[in-house]
Chain A
């Protein structure tokens, strides 16, 4: 008997939730909205657990495929099915997406309790889960693209949830458009795949590649670079990261779910999913690693100077995603996914805890106005503490294992490996520094504003915090070896071997030292000598302004891309070409028509006798013409049908 896992229900349940809440939600009581909103991800999670259990105990073999009998698009040689593909990689992703997703749904019940548009919020959240699970389960590139665009849509809707705020609406739009730039690359990648492989199905592409073992580089590099552009857009890597910090305009649970734990990791997932292409394109892989490393350190430096608690976390997310890209770039896909999983735990926790802080502060997000909150909101404080220590990379917390795996893989990856490792290490130090800075500024010292009355969050918000804290602690204990072994059927084994004994231990020591160093610096500057940062900023005004203003990247993009495009469109295309040249030509044509009309008009004198004269003259000309024709064979030579006349004459 073949067991069916019914994985098609995993996306469809949230979709049903979306439709119910989206269409009827405004007329339903809140408890029912929450029930529907929570039940959908919960049932999906249960189904995923069921699939995990059945596949682990060999009742069902992986990879497991479910395909809808009718194709989605079938035209010419293009065929795309609704096919869901379950393998260890997608199973791990699904566990994270539905598990963390469900926790964040619970948290949202408390966080959004007083908001208008409660049903709208939950329907969008369910919509996001629908698309995200489609993305993860997709058996072909096009279906992955469906999920890809769909999560972008959900993100757009949720960032702009408070649409009355112009900044929120603008941030949503920005996220969508920047993602579209990435999607443009992705699309070109899909076209290249279609043109070169004739199929979009992952399994078939992999099959073609196995058959052509010698195929390296060339068009594969092009494909991978295009996919990288897509991944960079969705996963907020250089140079397309600009939308993610702005996306913090959305409600905090949304930031936790979409802009930290799940959606933004889609790029990493996509690279791991198409690793068979990247494995054959070493140049593209190297670029992935460089982009990842550069993004990691770049975003970490910006995070140092931010004062908005959510923006610090946003840049931290970008930086951590850089780590994952770095791992992908050195072909350590399982390390990347491992970090993706632990990151989902601790970053969701950080955001939810930050949300709890913001909730406690009555909506205040500026860390300069916080302080001394550790006594007032103890649960939040302790969970946040766990998260901060985790992200900093202290053993035996989750990120310690995953970050180590990445740094080790980078170090042993070859010629440029040591450099990548150094960048990673420096980023680890910076990460520790800015996270402890956040920790100190928020929870220690004295409250720096008078009109706030911090209070602990309701139980529905505390419970997810505690669960996520536990996961952040134990999430890494499985260890990279067994995790890689589990993922091996999906992403292959890329054993990082080193000839040097105890190298791993030494590298680990370096990483922990870096984290410790970061903590010490933060401790010195933000707890013991709180006046020092300001002095430092005053001493290095250029550097500080540069960081505080995020290297002016937004401004540069605006000045180099957006403004010129608008000016070009408005003034050159609009005025010169459309109005000037094209309008001018039309005007000239119309003018010449008018002019000839004015001249010919004189002919129409209105005098009957002149008309009569013209009539006679014309008749005379025609007569002459016909007279000649009947003599010569002028018309006959021209092939005009003289039989017409004869016909009339009755012959």
Chain B
């Protein structure tokens, strides 16, 4: 269990996490397909998870690991609800382009 400690310094993991997160943000902003947007969000969550795990390991603190479980749980719930909504929207609108789905406008 100590390979992380020996081989790769903490910074690298954090850089990876930041890169993944940025990818997620960019995808979240520029993608039109709602599924892709959704995947970008998952990417961001997992980027954060990664840093949690790293910090938890670094500081020998179990709380970080627990938080990862929380995040995963939320992500799962979100995926379930979100996908359900997406399917419902697709049935009505026959499209997954976010620009076309502007029902939220007052």
Q: Does A643 contact B (CB under 8 A)?
A: no
Q: Chain B residues near A650 (CB, 8 Å)? A: 61, 63
Interface residues of A in 586-616 (CB under 8 A from B): 601, 604-609, 611-613, 616
Tell me which residues across on chain B come within 8 A of A616, comparing CB atoms. 25, 28-29
Q: State in angstroms the CA–CA spacing of A616 and B28 once bound together.
A: 9
Contacts of B34 in A (CB 8 A): 608
Q: Are A608 and B101 in contact (CB under 8 A)?
A: yes
Shortest CB-to-CB span from A605 to chain B, Å, is: 6
A-B pairs with beta carbons under 8 Å apart, 19 shown: A601-B106, A604-B106, A605-B105, A606-B102, A606-B104, A606-B105, A607-B98, A607-B99, A607-B105, A608-B34, A608-B99, A609-B29, A609-B32, A609-B98, A612-B29, A616-B25, A616-B28, A650-B61, A650-B63
Contact yes or no, B29 A613, CB < 8 A: yes
Size range of the chain B interface in the assembly = 10 to 19
Q: B residues within 8 A CB of A606?
A: 102-106
Nearest opposing residue in chain A for B61, CB measure: A650
4 tightest CB-CB pairs across the interface, nearest first?
Answer: A606-B105, A606-B102, A608-B98, A606-B104
Instruction: Assess whether B37 is interfacial by the CB under 8 Å rule.
Output: yes
- Interfacial residues, chain A to chain B (CB-CB below 8 A): 601, 604-609, 611-613, 616, 650
Query: How long is the Cα–Cα vector from A613 to B98 in the complex, in angstroms?
Result: 13
Q: Per-residue CB proximity of B87-99 to A under 8 Å, as 1/0?
A: 0000000000011
Is A612 in contact with B37, judged by CB distance below 8 angstroms?
yes
Asked whether, in the complex, the Cβ of B102 is within 8 Å of the Cβ of A605, the reply is yes
| Residues of B close to A601: CB separation below 8 A | 106
B31 to chain A, nearest CB (A): 9
Report the separation of the CA atoms of residues A461 and B32 in the bound assembly, to the nearest whole angstrom: 105
In the bound assembly, the distance between CA atoms of A607 and B102 in angstroms comes to 5
Contact status B29-A604, CB under 8 Å: no
Q: How far is the CA of A613 from the CA of B28 in the complex (A)?
A: 9
Cβ contacts B9-39/A at 8 Å (1 or 0 each):
0000000000000000100110010100100
Instruction: Find chain B residues with CB under 8 A from A612 CB.
Output: 28-29, 37
Chain B stretch 46-99: residues in CB contact (< 8 A) with chain A:
61, 63, 98-99
Known contacts A607-B98, A650-B61, then 8 further A-B pairs from the complex at CB < 8 Å, ordered by chain A residue: A607-B99, A607-B102, A607-B105, A608-B99, A608-B101, A609-B32, A612-B37, A616-B28
CB-CB nearest in chain A for B102 = A606
CB contacts (< 8 Å) of B28 on chain A: these are: 612, 616
Q: How far is the CB of B88 from chain A (nearest CB, A)?
A: 15
A609 to B33, CA, bound (A): 11
A606 CB to nearest B CB, Å: 3
Interchain CA distance A611-B34 in the complex, whole Å: 14
**What separation, in Å, do the CA atoms of A607 and B105 have in the docked complex?**
8
In-complex Cβ contact of A609 among B25, B63, B99, B103 (8 A): B99
Min Cβ gap B17→A in Å is 15
> In the docked arrangement, what's the CA distance between A82 and B28, Å?
84
- CA distance in complex: A606, B32 (Å): 14
| Least CB distance, A623 to chain B, in whole angstroms | 11
* Chain A residues near B25 (CB-CB < 8 A): 616
Alpha-carbon distance between A604 and B102 when the two chains are bound, in angstroms: 10
**Chain B residue with Cβ nearest A649:** B63
Write out the residue numbers on chain A whose beta carbons fall within 8 Å of the beta carbon of B105.
Answer: 604-607
Distance in angstroms between the alpha carbons of A613 and B103 in the assembled complex: 18
Closest to B101 in A: A608
Distance between Cα atoms of A72 and B97 in the complex (Å):
81
User: Chain A residue with minimal CB distance to B55?
Assistant: A649
Closest B residue to A601 by beta carbon equals: B106
Q: How far is the CA of A616 from the CA of B25 in the complex (A)?
A: 8
Q: Which of B29, B61, B103 has the most CB of A within 10 A?
A: B29
Cα-based distance from A594 to B45 in the complex (angstroms) = 39
Decide if B98 touches A604 in the complex (CB within 8 Å): no
Cα A410 to Cα B105 in complex, Å, equals 92
- Which residues of the partner chain A approach B37 to less than 8 Å between Cβ atoms? 608, 612
Determine how close the nearest CB of chain B comes to the CB of A627; give it in whole angstroms. Answer: 14
For the complex formed, measure the closest distance between the CB of B80 and the CB atoms of chain A, giving whole angstroms. 20
Nearest CB of chain B from residue A71's CB, rounded to whole Å = 65
Measured in the bound complex, the distance between the Cα atoms of B29 and A616 in whole Å is: 8
The docked-state distance in angstroms from the alpha carbon of A607 to that of B106 is: 11
A611 to B98, CA, bound (A): 11
Give Cα A605 to B104, complex, Å: 8
Tell me the complex Cα distance, A639–B102, Å: 43
**A242 CA to B29 CA, complexed, in Å:** 86
In whole angstroms, what is the CA distance A616 to B41 when docked? 12
Q: Tell me which residues across on chain B come within 8 A of A611, comparing CB atoms.
A: 104
Min C-beta distance of B34 to chain A, whole Å:
8
On chain A, the residues within 8 Å of B98 by CB distance are 607-609
